[in-house]
């Protein structure tokens, strides 16, 4: 495997360090050393030294959810996410991806989503059709919501309707490219998908990104990859918090006590921690998880659930246990993918709500 000197340096620095063990959502959930950043670095270092083949470690490379918790707590500045993404890209370039990843990539290229979905849910189709007219504001629902959690996509639309916002939703919404970036990194196909989405979004003054995965991609990764956007991109939570502050949404606060699960894309990547809390505190009594804001622990990944579903259930179950451990019986999330994975855990101790659930009652 051909890797950059920078990645090799980070790999060699991480391979014998345990500093980030405590914050790795996958490693904590499975209890397996192979799922930690240290073990991933050790495996890749052996590939770089021609002791192992990339085929020997590639499954492990895809057991990382790229949440960046390890990066955030590393006081010496090493970056396991960087070398993990580069390893995925190089494996793709060398045609050494696992078959299950190739299938997801093919779906992204053929249908615009890794799930291979070609037709929207009927209720969502109707909700989208009601906002087909062009306006200055585009609501981007994202592939997770449109393909896997359509009921929540409809609720996102209903929230903006409730606030009297004039907005557009596209029936043929282009993929922002975050799934391709997750699967194969900065491949040319990834950048082409991003550029095509940017061209569509540039036809609007404001773009509201419902899924934190899309928000991180558009607001951060596009710039890193040289993709130009002229529209003002904002997260759904920041947009809704502004609607509340302007009095366009009237909150009816209940005495229900909840805790908030910070999506890492918002909290760590985009430094957005307070806007969701402002929304939640307007509708419920807000408490906190022990690991919150930039120290949040990911609660699951809907894309990874396509190929390691049992592990993602373990990750989500552990986060629900974290909520239970602070005495919470209700957890609120602002990430539709985390919402879906959390809801799929068979348990009856912690209710899982979205921010839209709170607003719509």
Place of tokens 């003002």: 232
Q: What is the b/e burial string over 275-292, where b = at least 16 CB atoms within 10 angstroms of the residue's CB? A: bbbbbbebbbebbebebb
- Distance in angstroms (rounded) separating the CA atoms of residues 314 and 318: 6
* pLDDT at residue number 208: 98
Average model confidence (pLDDT) across the chain = 95
Helix (H) or strand (E) holding 235: strand 232-235
Give me 133's structure tokens: 């007219």
- Quick check: 98 and 62 in contact, CB under 8 A? yes
Residue 1 confidence (pLDDT) above 90:
no
Residues 75-131 pLDDT 10s: 888 889 999 999 999 999 999 999 999 999 999 999 999 999 999 999 999 999 999
pTM summary value: 0.95
pLDDT digits (tens, 9 = 90+) for 121-170: 999 999 999 999 999 999 999 999 999 999 999 999 999 999 999 999 99
Burial of 251 (0-12, 13-18, 19+ CB in 10 A): middle
Kindly state the tokens that stand for 321: 């246990």
Which residue from 89, 65, 70 is spatially nearest to 80, judged by alpha carbons?
70
Handedness of CA 55, 56, 60, 66 (dihedral sign): negative
pLDDT (tens digit per residue) in 282-334: 999 999 998 999 999 999 999 999 999 999 999 999 999 999 999 999 999 99
pLDDT at 337 over 90: yes
Residue 360 near residue 159 (C-beta atoms within 8 A)? yes
234-276: pLDDT as tens digits: 999 999 999 999 999 989 889 999 999 999 999 999 999 999 9
Domain boundaries, the chain: 5-97, 122-242, 252-360
The predicted structure's pLDDT at residue 259: 98
Percent of the chain with pLDDT over 70: 100
Q: Give every CB contact of residue 331 below 8 A, 6+ residues apart in sequence.
A: 258, 259, 260, 261, 319, 320, 323, 342, 350, 351, 352, 353
Give the pLDDT of residue 2.
85
pLDDT tier at 204 (50, 70, 90 boundaries)?
very high
Which residue from 180, 174, 185, 244 is spatially nearest to 209, judged by alpha carbons? 174
- Give φ, ψ of 57 to 5 degrees: -125, -5
What fold, for 252-360?
Rossmann fold (3.40.50)
Structure confidence by residue, pLDDT tens digits, 13-35: 888 888 888 889 999 999 998 89
């Amino acid at each position: 495997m051909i890797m950059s000197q920078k990645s090799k340096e980070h790999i060699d620095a991480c391979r014998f360090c345990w500093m980030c063990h405590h914050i790795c959502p996958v490693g904590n959930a499975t209890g397996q050393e192979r799922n930690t950043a240290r073990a991933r670095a050790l495996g890749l270092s052996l590939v770089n030294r021609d002791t192992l083949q990339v085929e020997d470690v590639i499954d492990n490379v895809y057991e990382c959810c790229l949440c960046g918790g390890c990066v955030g707590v590393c006081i010496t500045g090493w970056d396991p996410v960087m070398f993990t993404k580069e390893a995925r890209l190089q494996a793709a370039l060398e045609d050494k991806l696992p078959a299950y990843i190739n299938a997801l990539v093919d779906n992204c290229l053929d249908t615009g989503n890794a799930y291979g979905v070609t037709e929207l849910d009927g209720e969502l189709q109707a909700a989208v059709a009601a906002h087909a007219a062009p306006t200055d504001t585009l609501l981007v629902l994202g592939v997770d919501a449109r393909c896997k959690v359509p009921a929540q996509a409809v609720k996102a639309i209903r929230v903006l309707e409730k606030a009297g916002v004039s907005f557009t939703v596209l029936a043929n919404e282009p993929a922002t490219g975050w799934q391709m970036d997750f699967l194969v990194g900065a491949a040319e196909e990834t950048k082409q998908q991003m550029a095509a989405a940017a061209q569509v979004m540039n036809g609007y003054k404001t773009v509201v990104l419902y899924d934190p995965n899309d928000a991180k991609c558009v607001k951060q990764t596009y710039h890193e990859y040289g993709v130009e956007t002229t529209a003002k991109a904002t997260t759904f939570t920041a947009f809704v918090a502004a609607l509340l502050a302007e009095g366009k949404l009237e909150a009816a606060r209940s005495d229900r006590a909840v805790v908030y699960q910070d999506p890492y894309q918002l909290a760590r990547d985009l430094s957005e921690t307070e806007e969701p809390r402002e929304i939640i505190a307007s509708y419920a009594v807000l408490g906190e998880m022990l690991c919150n804001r930039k120290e949040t622990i990911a609660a699951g990944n809907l894309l990874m659930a396509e190929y390691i579903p049992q592990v993602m259930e373990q990750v989500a179950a552990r986060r629900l246990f974290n909520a239970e451990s602070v005495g919470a019986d209700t957890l609120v999330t602002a990430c539709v993918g985390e919402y879906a994975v959390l809801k799929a855990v068979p348990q009856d101790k912690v209710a899982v709500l979205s921010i839209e659930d709170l607003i719509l009652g």
